[in-house]
Structure 1
Amino acid sequence: MAASAHPSGGLITVATCSLNQHALDFDGNLERILRSIKIAKERGAKLRIGPELEITHVLDTLLTLVLADVLKCEDARDMLVDVGMPVVHKNVLYNCRIIFFNREIKLIRPKMWLANDGNYRELRWFSPWSAHRKVEEFFLPKMISDITGQATVPIGHAVVATQDTCIGVEMCEELFTPAAPHIDMALDGVEIFTNSSGSHHELRKLRTRIDLIKEATLKSGGLYLYANQQGCDGDRLYYDGCSFITLNGQVIAQGSQFSLNDVEVVTATVDLQRIRAHRTWSSRSMQAAQTDKVFHRCRAETRLSSDCDEDLAAAVLDKEGEFKYNLPEEEIAYGPACWLWDYLRRSSTSGYFVPLSGGIDSCATATIVYSMCRLVAKAAAEGNEQVIADARRIAGEPAESQYVPVDPREFCGRIFHTCYMGTKNSSRETRDRAKGLAEAIGAYHVDLNMDACVDAIHTLFTLVTGKKPEYRVHGGSNAENLALQNIQARLRMLLAYLFAQLLPWLGALLVLGSANVDEALRGYYTKYDCSAADVNPIGAISKVDLKRFIVWAKDAFDLPILDDFVHAVPTAELEPTTGDYVQSDEVDMGMSYDELSVFGRLRKQEKMGPYAMFTKLVTVWSDKCSPTEVAEKVKRFFFYYAINRHKMTTLTPSYHAEAYSPDDNRFDLRPFLYPARFPWQFRQIDAKAKTLPDRSKKDGEAKDEGKKA
């Protein structure tokens, strides 16, 4: 017999939240938690969950004070509330969920599987709970005990049972494991699953998250609530929110993926009978009847559902729908923009500064800043008081000002400064593109020539050494040519910081980098040049994706000027142009940006070394390259990747967006000193290449075959 006496099973309203929590911001974190509980209560929710470690991300004695205020919250009355915080049990630190009802803690649920790769090192702080389906006694601190009236509460891998349903917790990484906890919980009668997460944004990653949760309840049946952290937590990652609710494998409520709102609450009203009806099929019932994996039930003497006729008549049941995904181009437009806004408002600076080169990379950086200004203007127009207050402070407006940043170009002119740093090697085309883009987005723009600075360095070197270095096109050596290019690049970094500090005159600007992930992977930039910046919104985005983003933004942001950047040949413009020579990035690198993206994904995501990558690409590229050509491309990539690893130690902190990022500061923890010629691997590649047939068709061969036909 169903747990509910009403034929419908009873209606239940649930709430899941995205919160922009910030490490050590105890006041702000508490305020956002309480606000989310209040909103959930106003919408009639009987169950509220929040993101992972929402009380804080760092262990501190203030945790107990924050939890005490949450427990005493009047809006939490008659609601089952689930909040996250670190908990020390028997001198071991766990990442936990605290589930309480009417000031009584029903369960402390520690995390069992911890993320410890890629961007995460949870084992630095926490230990996993290894006693599966077991509970122990946890002795409450006196401050909490005085509120709850409890001396001890259960801690462990258990579920919470009410009079009408059963709720189980699955925390973040646990969902991604092969034997995810929801499987056993569903077979033991758990109907509602909660997942409190701290999952970062990465291009094209969201679909994996959604598919796993849909699959979890498609086979097992159930109501699944997913809550995610939102915002920049002072690091490279942006947590993209997108909290949502699924029922029996279908999405029924969805939050926004990118938002400037600090608190977003997603609610849904469902009929519990739909879960029970979904679970009546024979095979599932047989597995459930035979399961020996029984969970301890912590009882909450309440009913979360309603079967009153008035409630049934007034309820608006949520309907299934297709999940709405952002395009990768939209993810680039909004993810880094939200990250930049959080970084700016928390850094006590006056805005951003970008050296605009007239190329697509710095163009993309500037366009993302403009996207940030558009989001600020939209939020301000909608009455977001926090955004308006932050914008006034950043723009230098007094506290009593009535300024509201509803025009993105006007706001951009206040907080965004750009500069074209030209030399005799620069072209009129790049100078005009930089100026045109700044005008289109409203940025404050400076156009200068720095030949006097460059010549001064040249003169100093000649004066000291008696030797005058020359560019390659003027007969100089490769070493001279590179050194003369590096002088220009490093001087641009010095000028960027000078102008960023003094252009606003009162206050300072953060310098933005604009080197993409492929250039970082290949090491195609000067160490301590203008790639050395405060933060870099495109540092983990491929050149291919950036070009697609610019094509999309041209129409989405009504910026026709962007079309000029799309068709421009990528060039550093650090060498003189002659009648038969124009510097090209791809020629300098010895590989295309498309090829770099392939190398990056195979190296990082598929964990391939030189030989494995060669054996993969000799098949994939067999229609366009001979085995020997593939061998040369692979060896060239790994050689330059190896000799430039030292540059990763100075890489500007970049917005994380791509799974093959080589950023060693946190994500790609590999040595920066390698045996660059990979002698054993390269020998194996060469030997293998010689044994394979050449099936590629060169242009000349194709034409000859056409003539014969």
Structure 2
Amino acid sequence: MSPIKIAAATVNQTPLDWSGNLDRIIRAIREARAEEAEILCLPELAITGYGSEDLFLSYWFPKKALEQLGKVIPECENITVAVGLPVRIQDKVYNCVAVIENAKLLGFVAKQYMAIDGVHYEFRWFTPWQAHEVIQFEFEGKNYPLGDQIFEHKGWKYGFEICEDAWRGPIRPGYRLADRKVDLIFNPSASHFAMGKTKERYELISDSSRIFDCYYCYANLLGNEAGRMIFDGEIMLGKSGKILSRNQLLSFEDFQVKSFWLEEKEQEIAPILEKEKEFVQAGSLALFDYLRKSKSKGFVLSLSGGADSSTIAILVSEMVKRGISELGIVLFCKKINFPLPPKEVEDVAKYMVGKLLTTAYQGTKNSSEDTFNSAKTLAESIGAVFYHWQIEEEVSSYTRKIEQAIGRKLTWEKDDITLQNIQARTRSPIIWMLANINNALLLSTSNRSEGDVGYATMDGDTSGSISPIAAVDKYFILQWLSWAEKNLDQPGLKLVNSLQPTAELRPLEKTQTDEKDLMPYSVIVEIEKLAIRDKRSPMDIFLILQDELEIAPEVLKEYIKKFFRLWSRNQWKRERLAPSFHLDEFNVDPKTWYRFPILSGGFAEELELLDHL
């Protein structure tokens, strides 16, 4: 067989944006045809978007998707196109790929395995297709084959594994496709981003091409499609255990098309980014998509001068820099519906940050000059609007009212949590006012480590429209800030990186720090990996960590007890967190990754066992 040229495309889709989704698909098809590709593979559920949730269960939604397919078909002259969509057959919905050749529908392939772990709940919406089964499905008055089938183009046999199909080891459809002597397998995917995940995919694609002795082409969705999950838009081609082509991930573009000849030689292979770079690229893309898709006018952030709020400020700054760099200032402003900067502006990125990000430092008598200077310096360095005010008057007013009601003075010895929380909660109403005035998104500053142990004030620092770093642990954030200061040219982080993390809610003479209140963040991350990611018992965790950490056994036991007790009593807080971006291999958001009972026995018996060691 002579070599043929194929293409894969990634598209940034949005549920219910029918015309926009269709337009991006058609533009990708036209670009692939202009590059003289003969077959184009688009991602899983490209017509509707993967994140359509319970819309998949309705009768009208899959029907509308088929109507959109009818509009795609005429655009496929002189090219073969595979595009994902849901198909309802009676009371069941199937996750399918429609294959169109030269403006004629050939049939549908249905997904055989559903993703049900972590952020995925596919069994709620879709029914797995049975291997080897093919039925006739009526579309626009004609019958077409639907099910487990392969196709042929110029002597090249090709088939499909749809996302999760490829992750099922020895039972995956690829083995049956190899038995049918396919030369090419396409994998249209909606595989969520997580830091470091691309290395797993790299191995999957290279191993698949070797095991099945064929070309293996992977095409993933792109962008913050529906609010939480981020898709990185990865495109890869493998053959004989080797990656021949790979694109650069996490683009701000509406779509990307990558074409390649089916011949065993390396083409463009973008490097795999380090974890710190992945974080900033995914976080900035997520903010960009959330901003434009929510049609908001910018962001508001309570900037404390500490690590969490500073991280979010930098992500907004990098969002602007990347948007201008990748799209150009004209298209960037058009996408976020903002006027162009005046021509005389010298630092366009800094100017745009000033239009998009408003910050405020809200001090009390327990706030230090160090954190004020840290916040002010950072805001000025990136160009953000910076306000500052004292909330001591409001805190005192609330305190006096409750003291009069209960007939006694509040003291730090007796009312520590109450006196801390009222400060954090008092900051919330006024920062929400600023967000409302600006028609902007309020950015919540909680991180995953705080979510683990409830070290956050509900209706205080948890307040927000979105929570950009709620899925990232504090230990990583502290390391990332040092990296960002040097590698992202962010000198405004110098003061931030010189401070020890503190809530600054107790009197200054008490020298409050986060790790003194809790435990070292490096220990929290090790416990949470085993407890939440790996679902280990307290005893398992102790036995594992006593060999890995240089901590006295009795101290380690107390850390583990504290973690599980705080985890158990604070599930209600995690239930109320603002929508968060899924950025790491796991998170603690019960709406997307880890469900836990709000009321429980709190691991009482399991923790008691530690005392008997």
- What is the TM-score with the length of structure 2 in the denominator? 0.94
Counterpart of 1:482 in structure 2 is 417
Correspondence for 1:655 = 581
CA displacement at 1:72 relative to structure 2: 0.9
Distance 1:486 1:460 in 2: 16
Residue in 2 that maps onto 1:220: 212
Deviations 1:361-410 (A, max 9, x none): 111010001011111221343x773x33123x2x3569xx9999982111
Question: 2:32 is matched with which residue?
Answer: 40
Paired residue type of 2:349: P
Within the alignment, does 1:600 sit opposite 2:528 as a pair?
A: yes
Aligned-partner residue type, residue 511 of structure 2: V
> Counterpart amino acid of 1:419?
A
Tell me the distance in 2 between the aligned counterparts of 1:368 and 1:91: 44
Q: CA deviation at 1:91?
A: 3.9
The answer to whether residue 603 in structure 2 is matched with residue 611 in structure 1 is no
Say whether 1:196 aligns with 2:188. yes
Alpha-carbon deviation of 1:263?
0.8
Deviation string 1:449-480 (CA, Å, 9 cap, x unpaired) is: 11111111122122222211022xxxx22xx1
For 2:335, the aligned partner's letter is: D
| Separation (CA, whole Å) in 2 of partners of 1:202 and 1:380 | 24
Say if 2:247 and 2:269, in contact at 8 Å, map to a contact too.
no
**What is the CA–CA distance in structure 1 between the aligned matches of 2:293 and 2:218, rounded to whole Å?**
27
Q: Tell me the distance in 2 between the aligned counterparts of 1:408 and 1:251.
A: 36
Q: 1:235 aligns with which of 227, 237, 240?
A: 227
Letter in 1 for 2:562: R
Question: Per-residue displacement from partner, 1:148-167 (whole Å, max 9, x unpaired)?
Answer: xxx21111111112341100
Aligned partner of 1:496 in structure 2 is 431
- What does residue 646 of structure 1 align with? 572
1:649-692, CA deviations, whole angstroms, 9 ceiling, x for partnerless residues?
Answer: 1112111112331111222122122212x2321232221x2xxx
SS of residue paired to 2:94: strand
Residue equivalent to 2:52: none
What is the correspondence of 1:338-353 to structure 2 with a 5 Å cutoff?
Answer: 338-353=285-300
Give 1:634's aligned residue: 560
Does the CA-based 8 Å contact 1:251-1:323 persist in structure 2? no
Partner AA of 2:147 in structure 1: G
Which structure has the larger Rg over C-alpha atoms? Answer: 1
1:562-577 → structure 2 map (5 Å cutoff): 562-577=493-508
Which runs of at least 4 in structure 1 moved beyond 3 Å after TM superposition?
320-323, 395-398, 401-406
- Tell whether the 8 Å contact from 1:11 to 1:269 is kept in structure 2 after alignment: yes
Is the CA contact (8 Å cut-off) linking 1:604 and 1:659 kept in structure 2? no
Could you give the per-residue CA deviations for residues 9-33 of structure 1, whole angstroms, max 9, x where no partner exists? x121110011001101100000000
Per-residue deviation at 1:178?
A: 1.4
1:254–1:384 distance in 2 versus 1, CA, 3 Å: farther
Task: Find out whether 1:174 has 2:165 as its counterpart.
Answer: yes
**Matches of 1:499 and 1:90, distance apart in 2:** 50
State the one-letter code of the partner of 1:141.
E
Shift of 1:79: 1.5
Q: Which of 448-457 and 30-39 deviates more?
A: 448-457
Aligned positions, number: 602
Determine the structure 1 residue equivalent to 2:335. Answer: 390
Whole-Å Cα distance in 2 between the matches of residues 448 and 173 of structure 1?
A: 51
Cα deviation, residue 323, structure 1: 5.3
Please list every run of 5 or more consecutive structure 1 residues that lacks an aligned counterpart in the other structure. 5-9, 143-150, 275-317, 690-709
**Cα offset, 1:53, TM superposition:** 0.4
Give distance in 2, aligned partners of 1:264 and 1:163.
26
CA distance in 1, matches of 2:257, 2:269: 20
- Provide the alpha-carbon RMSD of the alignment: 2.0
> In structure 2, which of residues 483, 488, 505 is the aligned counterpart of residue 552 of structure 1?
483
CA distance in 2, matches of 1:499, 1:422: 16
Secondary structure, in 3 states, of the residue corresponding to 1:94? strand
- The CA deviation string for residues 293-321 of structure 1, in whole angstroms up to 9 with x for no partner, is xxxxxxxxxxxxxxxxxxxxxxxxx5257
How big is the shift at 1:334? Answer: 1.0
CA distance in 2 between counterparts of 1:210 and 1:19 reads 20
Give the structure 2 partner of residue 133 of structure 1. Answer: 132
1:154-192 Cα offsets, whole Å, 9 max, x none, are 111111123411001001001111122222312431011
- Give the match's secondary structure for 1:495: helix
The whole-number CA distance in structure 2 between the counterparts of 1:344 and 1:46 is 36
- Contact 1:516/1:543 (CA < 8 Å) preserved in 2? yes
Aligned-partner Cα distance in 1 for 2:90–2:577: 41
Cα distance 1:380–1:78, how it changes in 2: closer, same or farther (>3 A)? Answer: closer
Q: Distance in 1 between matches of 2:154 and 2:485?
A: 56
Residue correspondence of structure 1 range 272-351 to structure 2 within 5 A: 274=264, 319=266, 324-351=271-298
Secondary structure, in 3 states, of the residue corresponding to 1:551?
helix
Pairwise CA distance, 1:90: 4.6
2:472 to 541, 553, 556: 541
Give the one of 677, 683, 691 matched to 2:608.
683
Percent identity over the alignment is 28
Per-residue Cα deviation, 1:578-627 (whole angstroms, up to 9, x for no partner): 2xx300111111x1111111111101221112222222223323xx2343
Residues 330 and 549, structure 1, Cα contact 8 Å, conserved in 2: no
2:457 to 505, 526, 530: 526
Give deviations 1:207-227, integer Å, cap 9, x for gaps. 111111111112332211111
Q: Partner letter of residue 430 of structure 1?
A: T
Aligned position for 1:429: 370
Structure 2 counterpart of 1:466, from 389, 407, 424: 407
Q: Could you tell me how far 1:359 is from its partner in structure 2?
A: 0.6
Shift of the 633–259 alpha-carbon distance from structure 1 to 2, 3 Å rule, reads: same
Q: 1:92 to 1:636 in 2, by over 3 A?
A: same
Task: Letter of the 2:604 partner, please give it.
Answer: P
The within-5 A match list for 1:428-467 is 428-467=369-408
Give 2:252's match in structure 1, choosing from 245, 255, 260. Answer: 260
Partner residue of 1:70 out of 44, 61, 72? 72
Cα shift at 1:233: 1.8
SS at match of 1:11: coil
- The residue type paired with residue 81 of structure 1 is V
Q: CA, structure 1 residues 177+403, in 2 after alignment: closer, same or farther (shift >3 Å)? A: farther
Partner of 2:511: 582
Preserved contact between residue 248 and residue 271 of structure 2 (Cα < 8 Å): no
Unaligned 5+ segments in structure 2 are: 50-54
Amino acid in structure 2 at the alignment position of 1:587: K
What is the deviation of 1:559? Answer: 1.7
Structure 1 residue 530, shift from structure 2 partner: 2.1
Q: Tell me which residue corresponds to 2:150.
A: 159
| Structure 1 pair 176–56 and aligned structure 2 pair: CA distance change class (3 A) | same
Aligned equivalents of 2:173 and 2:579: distance in 1? 36
CA deviation vs aligned residue, 1:340-367 (integer Å, no higher than 9, x gap): 1111111122100110111111110100
Correspondence 1:99-118 to 2 at 5 A:
99-118=99-118
| TM-aligned CA deviation for residue 125 of structure 1 | 1.1
Equivalence map 1:695-706=2 (5 Å): none
Cα pair 2:247 2:268 within 8 Å, conserved = no
Match of 1:210 in 2: 202
Q: Partners of 1:404 and 1:129 in 2: how far apart?
A: 58
Counterpart of 2:334 in structure 1: which amino acid? A
Rounded to whole Å, the distance in 2 between the matches of 1:433 and 1:92 is: 56
More displaced 10-residue stretch of structure 1: 59-68 or 81-90: 59-68
AA of the residue aligned to 2:125: W
